[in-house]
Chains A and B, each alone.
Chain A
Amino acid sequence: MNEVERYENQLTPGWGKLMMWVFLCSDAMSFAGLLAAYGAVRLGSSNWPVPSEKLDVPLTALNTFILICSSVTMVKALSAIRHGDRKGFLGWLAATMTGGAGFLGIQAYEWTHLIHEGMTIQGNPWGVSTLFGATFFILTGFHGCHVLSGVIYLSCIFARGAQGAYGAENYSPVEIAGLYWHFVDLIWILVFTFVYLIS
């Protein structure tokens, strides 16, 4: 074992996984910045609306539940491929992608509904802070882009998996994709609380 391998082994077995963690750390800082900015403008506004009066909290709670379900299907997909169960792996992964697509569909519905009501990134018809729409669309939109990227990413993993690229001894790409997907779920948990629930 050379020196590089020794240090690598001390940290984590697998550079791909380590690099995904490094990416997620930097991405976490992006979201931390956005949430901090959201908190600052919200606290600095005297006419911030009660979110639950303008946003559909029950529908978004359902969306949160869908994303949580997609996280558990993702770990079940990883568990299946670790045990060499390719059929189970593809089934759980398909369920994960369906959950992600469902999340995006509901978010698209919510956005369409709000835009039809007149809420845009520049203003709203309710006479409340114009930053309400801007922060909402930027935060949920940035997260939605992550979900879309995740669904595309998982589709690639699915396609490779269907070709038999992964097995009980070669599942690292699945694990790395799973890390990304769970991160997307983790961030949504925070966005849901700060943007929708806290009034």
Chain B
Amino acid sequence: MSNRTDDHAEPNYWMVWLALAVLTAVELLVARAPGPKAFVVFSLCALALAKAALVALYFMHLKFEKYALILIVMSPLLLSAIMYIGLVPDAITHLHWLPH
């Protein structure tokens, strides 16, 4: 069986690295930014997911994998989303940081 799985143009890894470094710096700025707490939390989560996606797509080469493998890899994300949604009803009854 052939070992070669990556018959695709090599991504510019340094650009991905730069994007990750810049996004990390932005995260640090956003974490200190004044403003609505919910907006800051949402922004930080979005930035973290964007960074995670960059790592998965380009460093782990998921962008260049076969469709079936991508579906397999996506399954934990779907299950995790279901788990988090399941926790929402309990969590919103315990939100201490929102103004009452």
Contact = CB atoms under 8 A, between A and B. Distances in A.
The answer to whether A and B assemble together is yes
Interface in A8-52: 8, 10-14, 17-18, 21-22, 24-26, 28-29, 32-33, 36, 39-40, 43-46, 48, 52
B96 A21 contact: no
B86 to A, nearest CB: 9
Contact of B76 (A32, A43, A57, A68): A32
B59 A36 contact: no
Contacts of B4: 13, 169
A79 interface: yes
A74 interface: yes
Given A75-B59, A79-B13, A185-B55, A198 B69 contact: no
A182 B69 contact: no
Interface in A138-164: none
Nearest to B30: A197
Nearest to B4: A13
Contacts of B91: 39-40, 43-44
Tell me the interface secondary structure of chain A in the complex. helix
Contacts, number: 140
B96 A46 contact: yes
Given A36-B84, A170-B3, A12 B59 contact: no
A71 B60 CA distance: 10
Contact of B87 (A40, A179, A198): A40
A136 interface: no
A130 to B, nearest CB: 16
Interface of B: 1-6, 10, 13-14, 16-17, 20-21, 24, 27-28, 31, 40-41, 44-45, 47-48, 51-52, 55-56, 59-60, 65-66, 68-69, 72-73, 75-77, 79-80, 83-84, 87, 90-91, 94-97
Interface of A: 5, 8, 10-14, 17-18, 21-22, 24-26, 28-29, 32-33, 36, 39-40, 43-46, 48, 52, 57, 61, 64-65, 68-69, 71-72, 74-76, 79, 82, 169-172, 175, 178-179, 182-183, 185-186, 189-190, 192-194, 197-199
